[in-house]
Structure 1
Amino acid sequence: MNLAPLRSLDEDPSQFAYLVTNNQSGLLGRPVSMASIGLDVFLFDFSYKQFKITNAVIHLINSMLVGWLSFLLFSWFSVSKKYSLLLALCTTVFWLILPIHVSTVMYPVQRMAQLSTIFVLLGLTLYGAGRTLLLHKGRSRAGIVLILTALLVCLPLGLFSKENAILLLPLMFLIEITFFRNDPSVSGRRIRVAWTAGAFISVIFLAIFWTQIVSYINADYRDRLPYQSLLTQSRILFSYLQEIVFPSNSRFGYFHDDIAVSESLFEPIQTLYAVLAVVIILAISIYGVLLRRSIVAFGILFFFIAHALESSILPLELYFEHRNYLPSVGVVIALVASGYFISKKINSEPLVAFFFIGFLAITAFISVERNIIWNSPDVGIALSELNHPDSPRSIAAFAIFQAEAGFYESSLRNLARIQELSPSLYAAVEVQKLYATCVNRFPITEKDVSFFNRKFSVGSSQYFNQGLSSLTVAFESGRCATFEPSALVALSRSFLGNPMVPASTHKRMGELMLAGNERLRGIEHLMLAWRAERLDVRSSILLFELLLSHEQYDRAEVMIKKLDAAVDESGVDSWEAVYSQAKGYLQSVR
């Protein structure tokens, strides 16, 4: 849904500014990420291959920043320049080839996570380099410039790439307390005062807006409570660590919605063990940072801090591999540092190097395997279902693949399996059954859509809406010619009569009705979405034109004021002529 609107840039480049600034991802819209992907479309047309090539280039840049940061860290720990360079090189290569990063690079839309990481890593290196300069007399001005660049340039750019870039601040603080808290200079004392003031302001901000924050968090929860998410994340963090340190292609997959939610501290009992382990690890690491200035402890705390936003009580999906793109930096630094200290302890650098090179070779082999799987989508879908047999999304992807390949009965059996595993997805699977029937050219009558006559619940609207979008694409491509018009009308009627259907679903239903040439029905659904402010400016103007073409002038009148303001604020140059013409027509009707 983030990439699809960019297809229109091929035909109308003037929409670039609108598409960049009107994305609905996150709280800030992520315009830097959208601009980056939009530039790919400008330069190379809409090409998923090109998106992935650019992602791979960004991954290389990030690996270099990882090397730069780790070089600074080892230097601050008083490791010689020769060994600091060697350890930084090991850290760079190790992080570069981690199998868990394959999905981040291969999903074009994860450009957002990659760009956020670029600016966080750059911000950390600039901050660290600036703090180093402050320790040297006569270099304080240059040091302050680097620190301010990190705060005033890297932080905003990171936030407008993806909001988890806010973690740049606590990670900077981690560098400060680990390596520079004993800085006796005037600049060092001023920076510590600034950190204290910042922490105080943050506490006041949280206290003032605490009620609104809690309300926002609770509002989006459906199938679990916030504390249950936090308990579940304690188990998931160790799963992430396992995939970073001991990767296996049998654990990777496109979807991870088969994670059991921790109902309480003791259910399942692994939750208790995970929570205790997290508490103990954090306590030991904080001790190591504060009293021993341990770089291993630094890496461990880096991992937990970098997960603090997405692996928390926020109402997000429980598990994604790409969430480790930044946190894995800390794990790799801790592992490389541990290898260095072990080699010093046992006085056998060749032995440690042998094990390290062997470990890198195994990791590289698994990454190559993972890339081969990504290059064969059908194989990937089948393996995802095989490795995650309780994942509704993996089963659904496999079932849709079967339907499109002509294995209709097998597809229906797998879709029914989802309904048994996850009753909340029952209605969404009924939509997918319609799609499977449709693409296999079987007739769809009113009887086939009778399920929707009852007061059904959409469940996960994103999952449900995805099924409606697939149906829309099938209609537009002519693959749903057997869907009888009376059945389409009956489907629309049942949705319009169900108060439990959210506005976002009415938007998708409107698009489906238009694709099925039921324009009046489409208008009704889109009007419901528009009243709930779920239509963007472009979609609203299209709806406005639809109303005029069907002589629904009263409704068009109602839209005018809001559309005038929306068009003025959005700067959608490519739609101004269309909108002006439509307004002129409405004026002539008056």
Structure 2
Amino acid sequence: MSFRHPLLAILLLAGALLTLAAWSYAPGLHGGFLFDDFGNLPSLGASGPVDNLATFFRYITSGAADPTGRPLALLSFLLDARDWPAAPYPFKRTNLLLHLLNGVLLALLLRRLGRESLAPAEHDRNDLAAVLGTAFWLLHPLLVSTTLYIVQREAMLPTSFTLLGLLLWLRGRHAMLHGHPRRGLCWIAAGLGGCTILGVLSKANGALLPALALVIEYIWLQRPNPAMHELEPALSTAGSRQLPPAYRRSMQLLAGLPSLLLGAYLLHAGWSGFVHGVSALRPWTMGQRLLTEPRVLMDYLDLLWLPRSFTPGLFNDQVSASTSLWSPATTLPAVLAVLGLIVAAWCLRRKFPAVALAILFYFVGQAMESTTLQLELYFEHRNYLPAMLMFWPLALWLVGIHPLSRHIGPTRPPKAASNKPVSAALLKGALALVLLSGLALMTHASTVLWGNTHDQALLWARLNPGSPRAQANASLLEMAAGKPQAAVARLTAALPIDPDQVQLSFNLIGAHCMLGSVPASDLELARRAIFHTRDPGTLLVHWFDSSIEAATQSRCHGLDLTALDSLLDAGLDNPKLIEVNGRHQDLLYLKAHIALARHDPAAALHDFNAALAWDVRPGAALNQAALLGAAGYPQEGLAHLDRYRELQTQQAPPANGMPWLHAWVLQQQDYWPREIRRLRDTLRQDAQAKIATHE
């Protein structure tokens, strides 16, 4: 570099690029909550404001995702709110700060990797390449759907711990290679052990850290190192024969063994999926999932390598599973392309190590969410961690570094600056500026959309015409904007394509309610949908609760309690819903809710008791008894609590992991018995007051 103080110039450039990233994301900070945000964040207020140790421990152990419950992700949400409902802005602001922090950590990682393998004469250019490679990742528009999607902090935090873990591991490795085994072992244990645990406590894919370290070790570090040769010729290569035995043993224990265990777990998940089948929630088999994921991965790579301002976003339920290598026709080419990239990267790892590292790091980073685990087929946020090194080879080339195969021995002196064409350097500098500007502008355009929930929903519906979620979401926004006619037109067009989607048929009823009357055809479509649907999640309870209220108040002509009851009967006849844990209980609970609206306490108590018997839970008993009391039937509420006491021995034990710990916390706090005693006292007082009134 021609600067007198190159490090200062690089730091100024890094600061400018961080500022550019903050500017690019700023418009999106004013957007709202989306999709899974509503399924995860309300736990902030599930048992009251998190303002004391008791509620803190109940909240932090309440996670249901992964065996760990992701407690560190839950903890991070307390930075933004301690009760629910809350404003979205603080959550999005914290996500952006975390994204910028990850950019800083990535730059430090790329700098360290370059310095581990490049000659000292190339260190200044290597530092510049680290900043550029980070900027390409930091500004990439595909990452907007991770950074501004609040709940995907669960994907960002494992990335933070992975980056930190790799940095600590590299520091320990350096110490061991320079004769400090104890110090090195401490750093390696903190990086590959401690940070893996922290990553897993944020999200399960934090377990990939040891495997990613192995990829870096064998693809990038075990190569001739001209920098090391100048200091110690005996260590000029980091091949396995030259590495200290203590380092090899530490890597076998802290990287090799966890990677083998993870691989075994993924193989077991695949075997179980083939032998026992997949969850009733999924419309595909394990074989179909494994055939589909190469298509998904190639689509991800297309979005990474050919960035664009607007992507499909959060709604990708229209992605159809491959049923064979030839159906759809892109399946076999995608499988061959993925295998070809992996094999080519391995075969060319000596000649093009940076490219090989970027590709293999990407596919190992996708190993959990894109293989045998029974997750949904497609989500953009799955690229956040795997794509970290994707743009580093380009950055190295732009600054004039060609880390190709090297031979053990002294590095060749760099060519004099006068021998290098100035025009080539200027062209590369101009190209880097164009790429950075283009990425920043595309990201800014995307975040402007993320800041406008209404326009965002309409665009996603247009980009994903086959996605029921996208169409249902757009129709809700149209109704909220006072345009029920547009919602009716959208849903009427979408339902023939996906007639089993209750979210479409329910929203169509809602749109017609806004127009004054629900035709019988809407109810017939809803009955068909609820009879055939797979698990619609919490949509059933939320929609029926609001619809029962509307029917009771006669706010919607054509939608009465009899019609709603017939929909629930269709749901109870659906074997797919019966297979889903908790959904049968929801349907019986809603039947009881309708009975309450009809002022039939005996029927309500019968259905509440039946719901409780299906899945004995103290929370369900408490909620249902409270509903009976609030409706003016305290004696029935007491009877329901008595029924819970009779069924209490049938309560299923909590699952291992965080559910068990959560149950233990509640037991230590005497939470459920205390709440039930409190409700029982209230119901007794109400019953006595009711008797006194009648007397």
Return the TM-score normalized by structure 2.
0.74
Structure 1 residue corresponding to 2:207, chosen from 141, 166, 182 = 166
Partner in structure 1 of residue 372 of structure 2? 313
CA distance in 2, matches of 1:407, 1:546: 34
Secondary structure of the corresponding residue to residue 101 of structure 1: helix
Distance 1:385 1:587, change over 3 A: closer
CA distance in 2, matches of 1:447, 1:287: 61
Secondary structure of the corresponding residue to residue 310 of structure 1: coil
Partner in structure 1 of residue 388 of structure 2? 329
Asked whether the 8 Å contact 1:384–1:394 carries over to 2, the reply is: yes
Counterparts in 2 of 1:140-151, with a 5 A limit? Answer: 140-151=181-192
* Displacement after TM superposition at 1:479 (Å): 9.4
Tell me which amino acid in the other structure corresponds to 2:508.
Answer: K
CA distance in 2, matches of 1:62, 1:444: 51
* Displacement after TM superposition at 1:528 (Å): 5.7
Partner in structure 2 of residue 460 of structure 1? 534
Structure ranking higher in helix proportion: 1
Tell me which amino acid in the other structure corresponds to 1:321.
Answer: E
* Displacement after TM superposition at 1:527 (Å): 5.3
Distance 1:54 1:201, change over 3 A: closer
Distance 1:374 1:529, change over 3 A: farther
CA distance in 1, matches of 2:117, 2:151: 37
Asked whether the 8 Å contact 1:77–1:295 carries over to 2, the reply is: no
Distance 1:342 1:123, change over 3 A: closer
Partner in structure 2 of residue 97 of structure 1? 139
CA distance in 1, matches of 2:325, 2:522: 44
Greater relative CO, 1 or 2 (CA 8 Å, sep 6+) = 2
Structure 1 residue corresponding to 2:115, chosen from 52, 65, 75 = 75
CA distance in 2, matches of 1:355, 1:529: 64
CA distance in 2, matches of 1:107, 1:211: 33
Distance 1:445 1:569, change over 3 A: farther
Tell me which amino acid in the other structure corresponds to 2:278.
Answer: N
Tell me which amino acid in the other structure corresponds to 2:305.
Answer: V
* Residue 549 in structure 1 maps to residue 637 in structure 2: yes
Distance 1:136 1:545, change over 3 A: same
* Displacement after TM superposition at 1:262 (Å): 2.3
Asked whether the 8 Å contact 1:133–1:140 carries over to 2, the reply is: yes
Tell me which amino acid in the other structure corresponds to 1:92.
Answer: T
Tell me which amino acid in the other structure corresponds to 2:308.
Answer: S
* Residue 119 in structure 1 maps to residue 193 in structure 2: no
Asked whether the 8 Å contact 1:234–1:271 carries over to 2, the reply is: yes
Tell me which amino acid in the other structure corresponds to 1:2.
Answer: N
Partner in structure 2 of residue 7 of structure 1? 45
CA distance in 2, matches of 1:269, 1:207: 27
* Displacement after TM superposition at 1:392 (Å): 2.0
Asked whether the 8 Å contact 1:99–1:247 carries over to 2, the reply is: yes
* Residue 30 in structure 1 maps to residue 70 in structure 2: yes
Secondary structure of the corresponding residue to residue 78 of structure 2: helix
Secondary structure of the corresponding residue to residue 373 of structure 2: coil
Partner in structure 2 of residue 270 of structure 1? 330
* Displacement after TM superposition at 1:125 (Å): 1.5
CA distance in 2, matches of 1:236, 1:208: 22
* Residue 416 in structure 1 maps to residue 492 in structure 2: yes
Asked whether the 8 Å contact 1:217–1:314 carries over to 2, the reply is: no
Distance 1:11 1:496, change over 3 A: same
* Residue 55 in structure 1 maps to residue 95 in structure 2: yes
* Residue 391 in structure 1 maps to residue 467 in structure 2: yes
Segments of 5+ residues of structure 2 without an aligned counterpart are: 1-38, 223-238, 405-419, 629-635, 655-661, 688-695
Counterparts in 2 of 1:98-497, with a 5 A limit? Answer: 98-137=140-179, 139-178=180-219, 179-180=221-222, 181-182=239-240, 183-191=242-250, 193-194=252-253, 212=272, 214=274, 218-220=278-280, 222-289=282-349, 291-292=350-351, 294-340=353-399, 348-425=424-501, 427-438=502-513, 440=514, 442-443=516-517, 449-450=523-524, 456-462=530-536, 465-466=538-539, 468-472=541-545, 481-482=555-556, 483-496=559-572
The higher radius of gyration belongs to 2
Tell me which amino acid in the other structure corresponds to 1:272.
Answer: L
Root mean square deviation, CA, Å: 3.7
Asked whether the 8 Å contact 1:59–1:105 carries over to 2, the reply is: yes
Asked whether the 8 Å contact 2:355–2:393 carries over to 1, the reply is: yes
Tell me which amino acid in the other structure corresponds to 2:114.
Answer: F
Structure 2 residue corresponding to 1:558, chosen from 646, 652, 677 = 646
Task: Indicate the larger mover: 514-523 or 177-186.
Answer: 514-523
Asked whether the 8 Å contact 2:103–2:135 carries over to 1, the reply is: yes
Asked whether the 8 Å contact 1:6–1:46 carries over to 2, the reply is: no
CA distance in 1, matches of 2:521, 2:142: 46
CA distance in 2, matches of 1:565, 1:310: 29
Secondary structure of the corresponding residue to residue 46 of structure 1: coil
Q: Deviations 1:503-546 (Å, cap 9, x if unpaired)?
A: 443455467668775486776666566545496x5444323555
Secondary structure of the corresponding residue to residue 309 of structure 2: coil
Distance 1:562 1:235, change over 3 A: same
Distance 1:580 1:279, change over 3 A: same
Tell me which amino acid in the other structure corresponds to 1:432.
Answer: N
CA distance in 2, matches of 1:171, 1:585: 57
CA distance in 1, matches of 2:529, 2:454: 36
Tell me which amino acid in the other structure corresponds to 2:366.
Answer: H
Distance 1:325 1:554, change over 3 A: same
Q: Deviations 1:7-26 (Å, cap 9, x if unpaired)?
A: 34664634332232122223
* Displacement after TM superposition at 1:309 (Å): 1.2
Return the TM-score normalized by structure 1.
0.86
Partner in structure 2 of residue 569 of structure 1? 664
* Displacement after TM superposition at 1:382 (Å): 1.2
* Residue 87 in structure 1 maps to residue 129 in structure 2: yes
* Displacement after TM superposition at 1:484 (Å): 2.7
CA distance in 2, matches of 1:458, 1:406: 31
Tell me which amino acid in the other structure corresponds to 1:485.
Answer: L
* Displacement after TM superposition at 1:474 (Å): 6.6
Segments of 5+ residues of structure 1 without an aligned counterpart are: none
* Displacement after TM superposition at 1:451 (Å): 5.3
CA distance in 1, matches of 2:425, 2:377: 41
Asked whether the 8 Å contact 2:605–2:640 carries over to 1, the reply is: no
Distance 1:390 1:215, change over 3 A: same
* Displacement after TM superposition at 1:587 (Å): 11
Distance 1:184 1:343, change over 3 A: closer
CA distance in 2, matches of 1:3, 1:367: 26
Partner in structure 1 of residue 12 of structure 2? none
* Displacement after TM superposition at 1:286 (Å): 1.3
Q: Deviations 1:91-129 (Å, cap 9, x if unpaired)?
A: 222221111111111111111111111111111221122
Asked whether the 8 Å contact 1:424–1:459 carries over to 2, the reply is: yes
* Displacement after TM superposition at 1:285 (Å): 1.0
Task: Indicate the larger mover: 444-453 or 402-411.
Answer: 444-453
